[in-house]
Amino acid sequence: MSNFSILFALSITILLRLAHCHIIDELTDVDLVELDQKAQKQKLSRFRIYWHDITSGTPPSSIPIVKPVIKTGFGQINMIDNPLTLGPELSSKAVGKAQGFYGLASQEELGFLMAMNFFFTTGKYNGSSITILGRNAVFDHVREMPIIGGAGLFRWARGYVQARTHDLDLKSGDTTVEYTIYVMHY
Ligand SMILES: *[C@@H]1O[C@H](CO)[C@@H](O)[C@H](O)[C@H]1NC(C)=O
């Protein structure tokens, strides 16, 4: 290498270093507003509700929006606005809706990707929601899915749900699933 190319490489290195420092300096200049130094106490709550996937009925609460192209069903996607109730009966007290979609994401078994918001419409939690995103192998006795966030009173929510099939009507395809929700929130 000639003296010139060594010098050139050296100056590029120094320039990059300087640019890097400059970015860091700019970041430290960002005006961070500390909203609450004494963070409130986080709570861990547990509650149980029932999720009704009604594919029969008029109108259904769960409709296929993408039909599978292969026999296994892989690729099917359902959009849902499923009732959430306190008890296992659909006629029991309504607490909200499960809104979102689920899709058959496994080629080997009935394994779904669930992406939904539990939107609550009663009492203190009226208008608040939690967001669930996870894997649901529906023939497993217990399926665990993460709670990845929330809104309203569930702001900053983290946690998980455990889903257990309560009732499956093979003729209509309607399903009731018990959801036990473990959620950390403020
Ligand atoms: C929930 O909130 C909505 C919108 O603010 C309101 O219209 C409704 O009456 C509330 N429902 C209950 C059960 O409090």
Q: What is the pLDDT of residues 87-123, one digit of tens each?
A: 999 999 999 999 999 999 999 999 999 999 999 999 9
Query: What whole-number distance in Å separates Cα of residue 122 and Cα of residue 149?
Result: 20
| Pocket residue to mutate for ligand 1, from 126, 128, 129, 153, most atoms within 8 A of Cβ | 126
Residue nearest to atom 5 of ligand 1 (CA): 127
> Which of 17-21, 38-42, 53-57, 140-144 reaches the highest mean pLDDT?
140-144
Closest ligand 1 atom to 123 CA? 14
Query: What whole-number distance in Å separates Cα of residue 49 and Cα of residue 94?
Result: 9
Q: What percent of the chain has pLDDT over 90?
A: 72
Q: For residue 150, what are its two tokens?
A: 């929330």
pLDDT, mean of residues 167-186: 95
Q: How confident is the model at residue 181 (pLDDT cuts 50, 70, 90)?
A: very high
Residue nearest to atom 4 of ligand 1 (CA): 127
Question: For 19, phi and psi rounded to 5 degrees?
Answer: -60, -40
Task: Give the residues surrounding ligand 1 with Cβ less than 6 Å away.
Answer: 121-122, 126-127
pLDDT at 127 over 60: yes
Query: What whole-number distance in Å separates Cα of residue 4 and Cα of residue 107?
Result: 60
Separation of CA 124 and ligand 1 centre (Å): 10
Query: What whole-number distance in Å separates Cα of residue 50 and Cα of residue 167?
Result: 10
pLDDT of residue 90: 95
pLDDT of residue 15: 58
Q: How confident is the model at residue 40 (pLDDT cuts 50, 70, 90)?
A: confident
Within 10 A of 174 (CB to CB), how many other CB atoms are there?
A: 19
> Is the pTM of the predicted complex or chain greater than 0.85?
no
